[in-house]
Amino acid sequence: MWFGRVSGGVDVFFLITGFLLTGQLAREAETGTIRLARRWIRTGLRLLPAALTVLLATTVAAALILPEGRWTQSVREIVAAALFMENWQLAADSVDYAARNNALSVVQHFWSLSIQGQFTLVWPLLVALIALVARGGAARLHTNLTLALLGVFASSLTLSIAMTETNQPLAYFNSLTRLWEFALGGLVALWIDRVVLTNRERLLAGWVGVVGLVACGAVLQVSTAFPGYAALWPTVCAALVLVAGNSRRRFGADRLLSSRPAQYLGGLGFALYLWHWPVLVLFLAGTGVEDAGLAGGILVIAVSLVLAVLTHHGVEMPVLARSFGVANGLRLCACGLVAVLIAATIWQVAAAHRAVPDGRSGDNSHPGALALGEAVQEAPLLPPPVSVYDDWVDVEHWNCGQMPTFAADVCTQPVADPDRRIVVVGDSHMQQFLATLLPIAEHRNWQLTLMVRGACPFSTASEVLPEDAECVEWNTAALAEIAAMRPDAVVTLASRDARTGLTEQTPPGFVEQWRRLDELHIPVMAVRDNPRFESSVPDCVARHERRDPACNMERSTVYASTPPYLLLPDVPRNVRFVDIAGAVCDATVCPAEVGNLLVYLDDNHLTAAYATTMAKPLEQQVLDALGW
């Protein structure tokens, strides 16, 4: 709440789930046949009523509170959460650069519940299969289960460590990289009664586990280091607490954990987990603050606790107290799921209706950059706020193929007999600048080829993410592709990181790439980067009145009077520059809205709608830079 860190509690959640479910299934297999349908319905009745209640309430509250720009993302994730697929939705977003700037989702925390749901669906099948193979008594079943769980533990942990090293965001939400935590809990369940400890050892194990759990989130950066070997910390600590059991000591950790207040709070744990995140996100969205602060944090916790108490006593306990057969339990779960999906569908229809534009970029009522610094009659904003995050330049209809030395697309505009061929290369900012070049290219019969990789400008180094080795490989492959194509010119970034505080720079890696193109006798047009704001510009516009200066940025705080590239002593002779500052900022401010167009789709990417209107103001600069 106040420290901006994650505790590792989810990993404990997975271990305990594996511990409980494996123990139950093993005992059931020893005494008879595992009744799969009844097992799944019981799990559904334990998870779904509270989860679907929170999802339904969150859908209604989010539709009323969230800015329209966050509606599409929220609907998509609510549906994924209801279907226990939120972790895979977030995993897909983690490798989709356009989705990486998504705001905090109101149901993002459902990723862990999704993994738990998938686990409780598959795990009974695995244990039932092992029990079928291991006919011959409890001892053989125990041995076979142990071997199977050791296999799952070893393979999943190996995958988890490897994927965390190469693609941590994807590993974080991947079900397969988390299976070892459930398996470890299952191993503890199978062997806990064979671990013999003295009371003193139990005392020590309990407190080491508790202190380790409390310290985990403070010492480790869980959100960026997990779920590799670092996740052994909280899971092993939780295993120590379980193995310690009853220490029979007055000051044992078990005395604290089994006290009435702790048990009651533990009983609320599931509902509290479900509520705390949407309450926090909606509080931040409704108040427009980046951080809840002390008072706001206390309020969020208090509201979450009240809602958890109401959900626990009003939903969870009444459902669990009743005896449902398979058919009735299935109907109850299905009704709750349908209610959430209907609410999400209604919200989606409303979003789709608002996404229909009233006008188009560049017309008389939406002149965009053509009216920078001028007063124009107010008209509906474009792109429509509900779809602004999707306003990327679309090249899907171009001729696209992969580089021969790197798995990345190269897309070429379909032009039959072009007069000039230009390669636009770099990161997502160059993709958006493509919208500015397109009208000029179409007018002059140029053919554009796009080579972009998110967060990877054209350089000899990985400028945005220093640890991204693939960015360097991509840049090497892009240079080789350009050398093979021999275009008439290359268009790329001249600077980056133009933030408040005059942080704009031209990295040495940029200049080195220009020099390599000079050796190939290929002209370069280098484009100054656009400003980067501190938070989502469309969200700010949604919270304020139209044209409110609170969403603008002072030009003098982000752009120095002399661009950084003009201060370099060693710029190769093949490079000419285009300064877009005059197309995104007037003499004093860099506005969030110009000519009834939103300038930015998030905190740093130009909307395609606005970038298109920059073509005419920048056309002469482009022609001068290219020398044609």
DSSP assignments along 213-279, one per residue? HHHHHHHS-HHHHTTSGGGHHHHHHHHHHHHH-----TT-HHHHHTSHHHHHHHHHHHHHHHHHHHH
Encoding tokens for residue 41?
């319905």
CB-based burial of residue 600 (10 Å sphere; 0-12 exposed, 13-18 middle, 19+ buried)? buried
- CB 489, CB 524: distance < 8 Å: yes
Both 380 and 345 in one domain: the answer is no
The tokens describing 584, both together, are 């995104």
| Total H helices, total E strands in the chain | 25, 11
425 and 487: one domain? Answer: yes
The answer to whether 568 and 509 are in contact (CB under 8 A) is no
Residue 32: per-residue pLDDT? 77
Count of alpha carbons within 13 Å of 477, Cβ hemisphere only? 19
CB of 213 closer than 8 Å to CB of 238: yes
Q: Is 480 among the domain residues?
A: yes
pLDDT confidence of residue 324 = 77
Domain-terminating residue out of 350, 381, 409:
350
355 belongs to a structural domain: no
Which residue matches tokens 């064979």? 194
* 322 and 380 housed in the same domain: no
334 plus 384 within the same structural domain: no
Q: How many CB atoms lie within 10 A of CB 373?
A: 13
**Distance, CA of 129 to CA of 139 (rounded, Å):** 16
Q: Is residue 356 part of a domain?
A: no
Q: Residues 462, 316: one domain?
A: no
Report if residue 364 sits inside a domain: no
Pairing state between β 575-578 and 553-554: unpaired
Residue 617: is the preceding peptide bond cis (ω within 30°)?
no
Strands (DSSP E) contained in 19-65 are none
Amino acid (one-letter) located at 147: L
> CB–CB of 492/431 below 8 Å?
no
Q: How far is CA 186 from CA 174, 190, 340, in A?
A: 20, 6, 33
- One-letter amino acid for residue 152 of the chain: V
d(CA 297, CA 404): 52
Q: Contacts from 517-522 at CB under 8 Å and sequence distance 24+?
A: 517/479, 517/482, 517/490, 517/572, 517/574, 518/572, 518/573, 518/574, 518/575, 520/482, 520/483, 520/486, 521/574, 522/482, 522/486, 522/487, 522/489, 522/490, 522/574
- The C-alpha atoms of residue 122 and residue 114 are separated, in whole angstroms, by 13
Q: What is the CA radius of gyration of the chain?
A: 29
Identify the segments of the chain with pLDDT beneath 50.
none
Q: Which of 323, 350, 377 is at the close of a domain?
A: 350
Could you give the CA distance from residue 606 to residue 388 in angstroms, rounded to a whole number?
10
Token pair belonging to 99: 């989705």
Q: What is the pTM of this model?
A: 0.84
Tokens 């926090």 map to which residue?
280
DSSP 3-state assignment of 628?
coil
CB atoms within 10 A of CB 552: 20
Structural domain includes residue 359 = no
Of 58, 65, 150, which is closest to residue 110 (Cα–Cα)?
Answer: 58
Alpha helices in 377-488 (DSSP H): 428-444, 469-485
Residue 2 lies in a domain: no
Q: By residue range, what is the domain housing residue 482?
A: 369-626
Residues 296 and 442 in one domain: no
Q: What distance in Å separates the CA atoms of residue 12 and residue 23, rounded to the nearest whole number?
A: 16
Residues 190, 26: contact at Cβ < 8 Å?
yes
Residue 388 and residue 474 in one domain: yes
The two tokens of residue 487 are 């275009």
Is 38 in the same domain as 135?
A: yes
Q: Which of 350, 380, 396 is the last residue of a domain?
A: 350
Query: Do 503 and 560 lie in a common domain?
Result: yes
Task: Indicate which CATH number applies to the domain containing 604.
Answer: 3.40.50
Q: Are 199 and 136 in contact (CB under 8 A)?
A: no
Would 360 be classed as within a structural domain? no
How crowded is the C-beta side of 311, counted as CA atoms within 13 Å? 28
What is the crossing angle of helices 36-65 and 326-354, to 10°?
A: 30
Q: Nearest-5° angle of CA 117, CA 318, CA 265? A: 70
User: What pLDDT is recorded for position 147?
Assistant: 95
- Helical spans, DSSP H, in 246-402: 253-257, 260-287, 293-311, 317-321, 326-354
In a domain, 317, yes or no: yes
Instruction: Report the alpha-carbon distance of residue 102 to residue 109 in Å, rounded.
Output: 15
pLDDT for 1 equals: 81
Strand-strand pairing, 489-493 and 524-527: parallel
Whether 560 and 433 map to the same domain: the answer is yes
Looking at the fold, whether 342 and 273 belong to one and the same domain comes out as yes
DSSP at 366: -
For residues 71 and 163, membership in a common domain is answered with yes
List of residues 6+ apart from 58 with CB closer than 8 A: 78, 106, 107, 278, 282
Number of domains making up the chain? 2
> Hey, which residues does 496 pair with through a beta bridge?
505
pLDDT score recorded for residue 4: 78
